[in-house]
Structure 1
Amino acid sequence: MTHFIKKAVSISSITLISRILGMIRDAVIAFIFGAGMVSDAFFIAFRPFDLIRKMMSDGILSISFIPLFAKQFAQNKKDQAVAMFLNALFFISIAGALLVGFGIYFAPFLIDFFAPGYGAGSYSHILSCLLFRIMAPYMFIIFFVALSMSVLHAKGNFYVPAATPIVLNLCMITAAVLFSNRFTPKIAVLAIGVTAGGIVQLVFQLPSLARLGMFDFKAFVRMHPHVKKAFIALGPSMIGAAAFQINLLVAGLTASTLDPGAVSYLNYAERLVQFPLALVASPVATVLLPMLSAMAGSGCLEIGKHAQRRVEFSFLDQTHGTQDFSLVFDAGVRMVFFLIIPATVGIIALNRPIVLLLFGRGAFDLTAVDQTGRCLVFMVLGLWAVAGTRLFVALYYALSNIRLPFMAGLVSIVCNVLLCQFFVQHMGVTGLSLAVSLSGIIGFVLLVASGPFGLRGRAVLVCACRAVFMSVIMYFLVKWIWNFWTDYSKIIQAAGIVISIGAGAGCYLLAAHLTSNPEMAMLTRIFLKQK
């Protein structure tokens, strides 16, 4: 039972490096460009690429591709798996090239859509078009990298895909620090860094694919039936698995009609919300999807297989086989909630100090710090629901059930559009963050309400309530400790934030240990490298 959690922890360790670099990247951008018209133009131009990148890194293509691809290997049909990859690569190459040309030619119309508040011919509109065209080739690279990631995940190689974003962050940081004064406008260097980073990402994954024998072109076929099936499912899969990202896009569109800086406030708040998601929810969902898909392909996945057993479940119980997907999935959900809930409460407790520490320097003034901190509080309220949604989407797609995630995602998106229009009139840009959180919660509730029989919903609920109780205690401790550091210099405050976070984490983990929390016992075994 601990096997897939250990893999998730390993992925999370690599992702931590990537996210730290991502925070450094955002801090560099905030320092050099601040939060205003120029930074808004870049984030508007980068938004569609970032949206597709996050969708793919969260496994959107994997969701439709892995279940069919993994079944080929589970049934010892490697030649068919290679044929699937080459056929998918053929169509992705054609689609990517067309999208690049389409994006370059129709950039003004696309910016009109992504930034309805920018008037045609304005400096913001012209700058956004320029940046969009520079980054257009990155769209082709995203699809190739996503396909590569799907293949590697299906074969149990989670480490190379997890390390790939590190390359992009390094390229953007290098471009901003070393070359920002050599371009006019300066912000163009970020767009060039994105495209260059994408090329390096692509080269980084090619050796792993070659070692798997994926470039055996003798196996190529013009149309593979499983590829056709995967691409047909891709659209609904996108709605089901990427509702959160689409909701953020809608919020960004609405923010472009507000005062300059609103788009940047949302963007920086989203970056901070993505940090715990990438470290906790994404690794577990990444490991669960190919594992459950392979179980389905070998015919050993049964809903509620051990539902009649009256044995108290424990993470340390080795009598159950991992072929009972309900126990595996239950372990993943409980572990994610055990970690994501205190992360949410910690961010709420220290929202403004964290924003001030990471971004509050250079061109990023105190007004930007306050607005970003408010957006962060409202956006993080739905963090637990977004994390839970990723796990349930992985479960449904492993069971080849596309309809339920699609319907839940569609309802979430519609609710977000309506809530954005309502809250923006009363709360401004912070209302957009609240709309994203509430719509995410609605989508998650719909997924859980339609969950398969055999899942231990009561055990998950007990785990969540227990985590909330311990997190509330942690909240007051963190706030109390932070009050001792508020009147000092930024360097001392940075140490205070680290001490406050460390004390809060220690308090939470100690409480979990003293209450014999099974999730804590699982983490202890993993980090002590016990079997």
Structure 2
Amino acid sequence: MTDREQPPESKPLPPGDPSPVAVADDDRAVAPKAGGLMRSGLVVSVMTMLSRVMGLVRDVVVATLFGAGSGADAFFVAFKIPNFMRRLFAEGAFNQAFVPVLSEYATRGSKREVRELLNAVAGSLTAVLALITALAMLASPWLVWLFAPGFGRDPAKLALTADMLRLTFPYLLLVSLTAFAGSVLNTWNRFAVPAFTPVLLNLSLIGAALLLTPLMEEPAMALAWGVLIAGFAQLAFQVPFLVRLGLMPTPWPNFAHSGVKRILVLMAPALFGVSVSQINLLLDTVLASLLAPGSVSWLYYSDRLVELPLGVFGIAIGTVILPALSKRHAAQSGEHFAAMLDWAVRIVLLLGLPAALALAVLAEPLLISLFHYGAMTEHDITMAAMSLRAYAFGLIAFMLIKVLAPGFFARQNTKTPVKIGIIAMAANMVFNLILVWPLAHAGLALATALSAFLNAGLLGWLLWKERVLVFQPGWGRFGLQLLGGCTVMGLGLAWLSPDWQQWLGWGVWTRVQWLAMLVVAGAAVYFAWLMAFGVRLRHFRMKG
């Protein structure tokens, strides 16, 4: 790491403005202890896997009750708008700006300074998001028209979506405060609680779909109520853990606080840079609303399957590596910083490549096993499989973005990713226009995948050029090991899996048994190949 990439100063942080609640303890803050990244990543992966599995159960329930009809389309758009802003703001710009600043305060500052920062950030965040939420609820019909202009051709569908949005948009405020709490817990190496929290969203939606649907004049409205209930449940769940750490803030807006100012400066470009893939997915929704009925739902169901490995592997690694990188940057440990990034890229390829291949080979069996019930038709499966394969092609790029972007944000550099983000967004628009006409909704998914590769490629090239990402010895052999393992696994899955038309006639348990057998067999073949050719678990241990 070059001199210009070191923290601008090593002197103690300037104290923030006095908090309205006096804090007597002014001892030096106890910085979070370093932990094993592999172990922390495993904890997050297990919890994320539980969340994703429950999410698939949720989607099975939704697909069975609502299929790909107008009610489902209306809910997916009404949920996608606040969910998109959550990923862009709470888990994107805010998280990437807040964690490095908080890590610096925890490493160099005092306990009082840390508490003052938490109070000011919590209060300022609540004030801003409460205003945005109120305005969005008032302007819900216009927001729906903006994000899904095709709904304007059906006034009833537009009105239903707007009504749902008034219920779902407050979720942004609640889940952003949840993300704030989760960022604090992650910084103190309490990864399990934030990783488990999304399970509550899935449980709320499943409960609402099963229990509230019969009570609603418009059945799909039950799902919107489920989102609102989930927001309160997720926030309430994390509060006791903050109290236990002694880090429960007393929210008080203070935009003049030095830490808040730094976070705002970092957030401005990060709004574009860190969540470009989410913006691209939103553009897909806009264009899909103009295509054949069901296009929004086909993209949604295929995206949900890609989200499983992306969350379990890519997001999990990105979650644990950002606080670790931020601490190493604050401690001016450039060599360890570079080694961490190399470790993260290797882990992404080790786990992401076979996952992407399995999604492509088993697209129809996966969709049939999970969603071909009730209102979900064979035509819906065929259409969703097309977009699933396109998204699977881009899975590695989606995952690389999650681990490469922290290489910039941990160093409090948000300007470079935003430039890359703008380039990728422009490319996605061009790819969309080129591919949507011959490939319809699958073209939109492929355009998103191509723009993600451009984004990841530029991030990686600049990190390597600046010597922030330094590839460690052994990459040639590692690449051959992965290529061989994926080849053997792909051929094995294609040979073992029956023709997907047979899956349509099977019952649910037969489908589950076959799918479980294929997943276990594929994983066994892949990892047996790697072990036979010298890959060992100890090669991937990394201290945070």
Alpha-carbon distance, 1:213 to partner: 2.7
Distance 1:419 1:213, change over 3 A: same
Tell me which residue corresponds to 2:393: 381
Percent sequence identity over matched residues? 27
Range moving further from structure 2, 164-173 or 484-493: 484-493
Alpha-carbon distance, 1:493 to partner: 3.2
Matches for 1:487-502 after TM superposition, within 5 Å: 487=502, 489-490=506-507, 491-502=509-520
One-letter code of the match for 1:483?
Answer: P
Tell me which residue corresponds to 1:483: 498
Distance 1:225 1:480, change over 3 A: same
Unpaired segments ≥5 residues, structure 1? 306-323, 527-531
CA contact 1:474–1:507 (8 Å) conserved in 2: yes
Deviations 1:104-146 (A, max 9, x none): 1111111110111122661111111010011122121122112
CA contact 1:513–1:521 (8 Å) conserved in 2: no
One-letter code of the match for 2:516?
Answer: V
One-letter code of the match for 1:87?
Answer: A
Tell me which residue corresponds to 1:124: 157
What is the rounded CA distance, in whole Å, between the counterparts of 1:119 and 1:219 in structure 2?
41
Q: Select 1:470's aligned residue among 481, 485, 501.
A: 485
Alpha-carbon distance, 1:59 to partner: 4.7
CA contact 1:2–1:522 (8 Å) conserved in 2: no
Tell me which residue corresponds to 1:314: none
Range moving further from structure 2, 396-405 or 214-223: 214-223
Tell me which residue corresponds to 2:68: 35
Distance 1:420 1:459, change over 3 A: farther
Alpha-carbon distance, 1:484 to partner: 7.5
What is the rounded CA distance, in whole Å, between the counterparts of 1:83 and 1:202 in structure 2?
21
Tell me which residue corresponds to 1:239: 272
Question: SS of the counterpart of 1:363?
Answer: coil
CA contact 2:124–2:252 (8 Å) conserved in 1: no
CA contact 1:142–1:198 (8 Å) conserved in 2: yes
Question: SS of the counterpart of 2:280?
Answer: helix
Range moving further from structure 2, 470-479 or 229-238: 229-238
Matches for 1:130-141 after TM superposition, within 5 Å: 130-141=163-174
What is the rounded CA distance, in whole Å, between the counterparts of 2:176 and 2:252 in structure 1?
21
Question: SS of the counterpart of 2:212?
Answer: helix
What is the rounded CA distance, in whole Å, between the counterparts of 2:233 and 2:405 in structure 1?
30
What is the rounded CA distance, in whole Å, between the counterparts of 1:460 and 1:192 in structure 2?
50
CA contact 1:345–1:471 (8 Å) conserved in 2: yes
Give me the TM-score of the superposition, normalised by structure 1.
0.90
Tell me which residue corresponds to 1:99: 132
Tell me which residue corresponds to 1:301: 333
Distance 1:216 1:94, change over 3 A: closer
One-letter code of the match for 1:237?
Answer: A
Alpha-carbon distance, 1:369 to partner: 0.7
Unpaired segments ≥5 residues, structure 2? 1-33
What is the rounded CA distance, in whole Å, between the counterparts of 2:506 and 2:532 in structure 1?
37
Alpha-carbon distance, 1:31 to partner: 0.3
Distance 1:458 1:386, change over 3 A: farther
Q: Select 2:534's aligned residue among 508, 512, 516.
A: 516
What is the rounded CA distance, in whole Å, between the counterparts of 2:529 and 2:453 in structure 1?
27
State the Cα RMSD in Å: 2.1
Question: SS of the counterpart of 1:450?
Answer: helix
CA contact 1:486–1:493 (8 Å) conserved in 2: no
Tell me which residue corresponds to 1:503: 521
Alpha-carbon distance, 1:103 to partner: 1.2
Count of aligned pairs? 503
Deviations 1:62-97 (A, max 9, x none): 210111111111114221121111111111111121
One-letter code of the match for 1:390?
Answer: K
Deviations 1:167-224 (A, max 9, x none): 1110110010112111010000000000001001111111122223334649985621
CA contact 2:339–2:472 (8 Å) conserved in 1: no
Matches for 1:245-394 after TM superposition, within 5 Å: 245-298=278-331, 300-302=332-334, 305=335, 324-394=336-406
Matches for 1:453-464 after TM superposition, within 5 Å: 453=467, 455-456=470-471, 459-460=474-475, 463-464=478-479
Tell me which residue corresponds to 1:207: 240
CA contact 2:325–2:410 (8 Å) conserved in 1: yes
What is the rounded CA distance, in whole Å, between the counterparts of 2:460 and 2:171 in structure 1?
36
Deviations 1:274-311 (A, max 9, x none): 1001111111111111111112223x322xx3xxxxxx
Question: SS of the counterpart of 1:507?
Answer: helix
CA contact 2:309–2:355 (8 Å) conserved in 1: yes
Alpha-carbon distance, 1:99 to partner: 1.4
Q: Select 2:113's aligned residue among 80, 95, 114.
A: 80
Tell me which residue corresponds to 1:317: none
Give me the TM-score of the superposition, normalised by structure 2.
0.88
Alpha-carbon distance, 1:238 to partner: 2.4
